[in-house]
């Protein structure tokens, strides 16, 4: 329980000077198939001090450390909290074509940007250009940040990213809002992969969710890649050069 409470304390510390904290995390970066999905969850001091957090914080963790049933139960709670206006959540994804076009890191940033754009535009956080010396009061106001929020993103700092952010390594184990975002992203992607299983039978997407399990690799070698497979991630497997599950795909959540 003490470790779980540290998640709340971490977020309260980062709420100093702002009214909103936005946690961002992604899933699917290391999969052989399917999209990469990012989620953003907005919390406030009121939420972090709420009875719900006090009662349920022990249930919140990095999504990888939870069972599917635990994640689904929390998803239902998050929906209820959103309906009550206590939190806000949004997700974005980058599909296989975008992963091939931008590489996995570029696609991850694209998914994160889409998740955040559903909450606030980048211009709400930063001045895009400096106002002219003779600008009107209205023009000057347009260059000011429109929201009082801080963004926490799991992982290392993102270069050429339109949102100012605080990078938190292993953030899903340190921040409550990042851990919540990891759960939203995981449940969203798992459901997408289950839906894809019906359209692309034989690969077992509903079971392994696109990751490089032995059954999945065998299915690719037997059936060939589908349109949902990432060509760049399958090159070694198809060339008979080894187990792609052992390849480094920049980590995953």
pTM: 0.88
Per-residue pLDDT tens over the stretch 1-44: 445 668 999 999 999 999 999 999 999 999 999 999 999 999 99
Does the structure show a pLDDT above 50 at 96? yes
Report the distance separating Cα 62 and Cα 84, nearest Å.
Answer: 24
Element at 233 (helix H, strand E): helix 231-238
- Is residue 176 within 8 Å of 60, Cβ to Cβ? yes
Residue 17 lies in a domain: yes
Q: Which residues contact 220 (CB under 8 A, 6 or more apart)?
A: 32, 203, 229, 234, 237, 238
- According to DSSP, the residues that pair with 39 across neighbouring strands are 25, 91
Q: Is residue 253 included in any domain, yes or no?
A: no
- The stretch 130-150 carries a mean pLDDT of 70
- Indicate which CATH number applies to the domain containing 159: 3.30.420.10
DSSP string covering 77-138, please? HHHHHHHTTS-EEEEEEE-HHHHHHHHHHHHHHHHHHHHHHTT--GGGTS-SSPPPTT--HH
Domain count of the fold of the chain: 1
| Exposed e or buried b per residue across 110-127, where buried means at least 16 C-beta atoms within 10 angstroms of its C-beta | bbbbbbbeebbeeeebee
Instruction: Give me the domain span that covers residue 93.
Output: 2-246
**Hey, what are 78's tokens?**
């998050």
Let me know if residue 252 belongs to a domain: no
Encoded tokens for 131: 């106002």
Q: What would the mean pLDDT of 163-167 be, rounded to a whole number?
A: 95
Q: Which strands form 166-168's sheet, in the order they lie side by side? A: 88-94, 36-43, 20-27, 149-154, 166-168
242 in a domain, yes or no? yes
- Domain membership flag for residue 61: yes
- The answer to whether residue 126 sits within a structural domain is yes
Tokens for 162, please give them.
């339109």
Q: What is the pLDDT of residues 223-237, one digit of tens each?
A: 999 999 999 889 878
């Amino acid at each position: 329980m003490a470790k779980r409470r540290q998640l709340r304390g971490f977020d309260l510390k980062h709420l100093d000077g702002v009214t909103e904290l936005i946690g961002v995390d992604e899933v699917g970066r290391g999969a052989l198939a399917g999209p990469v999905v990012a989620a953003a969850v907005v919390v406030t001091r009121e939420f972090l001090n709420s009875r719900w957090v006090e009662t349920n914080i022990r249930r919140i963790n990095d999504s990888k450390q939870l069972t599917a049933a635990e994640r689904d139960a929390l998803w239902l709670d998050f929906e209820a909290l959103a309906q009550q206006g206590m939190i806000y959540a949004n997700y974005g994804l980058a599909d296989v074509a975008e992963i091939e076009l931008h590489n996995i890191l570029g696609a991850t940033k694209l998914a994160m940007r889409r998740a955040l754009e559903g909450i606030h535009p980048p211009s709400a956080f930063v001045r895009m250009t400096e106002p002219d010396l003779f600008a009107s009061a209205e023009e000057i106001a347009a260059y000011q940040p429109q929201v009082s929020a801080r963004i926490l993103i799991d992982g290392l700092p993102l270069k050429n990213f339109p949102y100012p952010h605080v990078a938190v390594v292993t953030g899903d184990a340190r921040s409550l809002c990042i851990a919540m975002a990891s759960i939203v992203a995981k449940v969203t992607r798992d459901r997408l992969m289950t839906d894809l299983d019906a359209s692309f039978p034989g690969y077992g997407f509903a079971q392994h969710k696109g990751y490089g399990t032995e059954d999945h690799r065998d299915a690719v070698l037997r059936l060939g890649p589908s349109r949902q497979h990432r060509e760049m991630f399958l090159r070694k497997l198809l060339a008979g050069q080894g187990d792609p599950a052992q390849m480094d795909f920049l980590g995953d959540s």
